Amino acid sequence: MAAKKNVAKKSKVVPTKQRWASDVIVDMLHRYDLPYASMNPGASYRGLHDSIVNYGQNFPYLMLCQHEEIAVEIAHGYAKASGKPMVAILHNLVGMLHATMAVYYAYIDRAPVFIVGATGPMDETKRRPRIDWTHTANAQGEAFRNFTKWDYQPTVIDGVPESFARAYGVMMTEPQGPIYMCYDAWLQEAPLNHAVALPPAHAMKVPTPMAADPDALAQAAEMLVRAKHPVILAEFAGRQPIGYEPLVKLAETVAAPVFDVNSRLNFPGCHPLNLSMSKDVFRDADLILCLDTRDWEKPTTELVSTTRTVTSLAPAGCKWIDIGFGDLEISSWAMDYQRLHHVDLRILADTATAIPALTKLCRGLLAKNPRLQPVVKKRFEATKKKHEALRAKWAREAKENWNASPITLPRLASEVWDVIKDEDWVLTAGTLEDWTRKLWDFDKPYRHPGKSLGTSTQIGIALGVALANRDKGRLVVDMQPDGDLMFDAGALWVAAKHKIPMLIVMYNNRAYYNDWHHQIRMAKLRGTPVNRAHIGMDLCDPDPDFAGLARSMGWYAEGPIDQGKDVKAALKRAIARVKAGQPALVDTITQKR
């Protein structure tokens, strides 16, 4: 992008006559090359703040945010898009309590976020009256402990380097996740009158990936090549780019259709073996291979929402293989581990190493069994026909009610695609109820870091994704729900302030319609009036002016637009501004789905 950017550039520290304890924390931030720190200001880390800005020469680059949730979500999105961590800094007890939901979502989405917190002095004689007491807790990390991989509060400055190094290693070891380091305010502010040893520069920061048991992997290969209708179910296998192409090679080797759960982009959208979003693929499966998959149940079952009845789509005799981290990421508090899956073969391993090894074994077995090769070829052609039929069906459906107002989601997805398809684009978290996945060509691993999570997370994650891609010159597109943006519209200011160019296309149905739809289901079940289901759900009267809001915070913006014919020209104008370095928003009014 053409405009001047705020880019984190590592500088030499500037020593002063007196060194301070918080300088040691900055030394570690530099040693581990953490380029950005999103934060909301707080006096509990004023010592660290001063050390970052002056001693560390603003490295990591401090990104001011209006809310702690947004600070954590930016780091979450950055990690998903780049595979690298960044820092989120939280003001003592109150700041960390603001951030709890965002930290929880980073945890269940396996995003490595290095959370730096602070507490009022544990030395009671150094506490300011009242404020340092109300902002301090015993075992402050307890508030995060059930949904972080590790937390620690060093008692002396000499404990900072070792605990920092351990925290980084724990955070980046698979399965990854957020950690919390809490630094006592007085510990930060105290003069430093002795040298504090840092970890040796040659020390390995993260252990090597976990390899699969060779005998178990050989058994998996045998089961896979012998299956008549194998299906691959992938969720986090594509968490790093190195997981994307190896999965293509495995699928092509055995001609197995792939269902991508989309917590990360695991498989090319237009590949002939991609049968994502078609649950029918499981109906005749005789083997399902789960690759780093926690959410195995939703794709492979049918749900009657009103009665909460779940029925498996897989035949009774279907065999299951699970390769991933199993119960390594299980928590005794949050039930994100989901229903226990009684599989036939469980292999504890990192798919980054297991998938290439499994592919090699499968190729060897197929080479020794020439009679299986025609079976594989026939299966590939059959899956290709199903894939092409699905794409053709979605293309036809996208044309239905083409000129409707408000705009249909398929038309909006089509209009955006027509404008960006020749760009080097990235889609952030939202997929427009999967219409982008049905109509766009996700041909590279960086096109999409994975689906969105709960409401109030998407705008922050989108900012992090845009930050991760900013210096690559890519066009970052956020299909932004209105309800999500209403949680923290101030996040728009962050993009303008920190020169993060991105395109937001509002998916604005003027409602929290997912919940509205739940109330419609309840009304139909109970015989209560459907026309009252909107109460407590609609976002109108008054209608939020998202374009006006964005302009007030330094964005280029147009809208609201409720005619499909007007969308393309508005998008082109907005993209021109994004390429010039300014974030841009186009507010489109869409139908409720």
Is the pLDDT assigned to residue 4 strictly greater than 80? no
DSSP string, 346-390: EEES-HHHHHHHHHHHHHHHHHH-GGGHHHHHHHHHHHHHHHHHH
* pLDDT band with cut points at 50, 70 and 90 for residue 510: confident
For residue 136, what pLDDT band results from cuts at 50, 70 and 90? confident
pLDDT of residue 520 exceeding 90: no
512 pLDDT more than 80: no
Alpha carbons within 13 A on the beta-carbon side of 205: 13
Q: Give 274-310 pLDDT, tens digit per residue.
A: 999 999 999 999 999 999 999 999 999 998 888 899 9
Q: Of 455, 452, 290, whose CA–CA distance to 298 is shortest?
A: 290
* Average pLDDT taken over every residue of the chain: 94
Question: Region 474-484: what's the mean pLDDT?
Answer: 95
| pLDDT for residue 5 | 60
Q: Which residues pair with 143 in a beta bridge?
A: none
Alpha-carbon distance of 179 to 165, in angstroms, equals 12
Pick the more confident residue, 127 or 36.
36
Domains and CATH numbers, the chain: 19-192 (3.40.50.970), 214-393 (3.40.50.1220), 401-589 (3.40.50.970)
Q: 74-99 pLDDT, tens per residue?
A: 999 999 999 999 999 999 999 999 99
Pairing state between β 503-508 and 475-481: parallel
pLDDT at 250: 98
Are residues 72 and 98 in contact, defined by beta-carbon separation less than 8 angstroms? no
**Average of per-residue pLDDT across 504-518:** 83
Tell me the pTM.
0.95
pLDDT at 332 over 80: no
- Give the pLDDT score at 416: 98
Neighbours of 97 (CB within 10 A): 14
pLDDT digits (tens, 9 = 90+) for 369-405: 999 999 999 999 999 999 999 999 999 999 999 999 9
* CA 592/CA 433 separation, integer angstroms: 11
- What pLDDT does 71 receive? 97
For residue 504, how many C-alpha atoms fall within 13 Å in the half-sphere facing its CB?
A: 36
pLDDT tens-digit readout, 146-163:
999 999 999 999 999 999
Residue 3's pLDDT band (cuts 50, 70, 90) = very low
Residue 120: is its pLDDT beyond 60?
Answer: yes
- Residue 142 has what pLDDT? 93
Rounded to an integer, the average pLDDT of 475-488 is 94
Helix axes 351-368, 244-254, angle to 10 degrees: 20
pLDDT digits (tens, 9 = 90+) for 216-237: 999 999 999 999 999 999 999 9
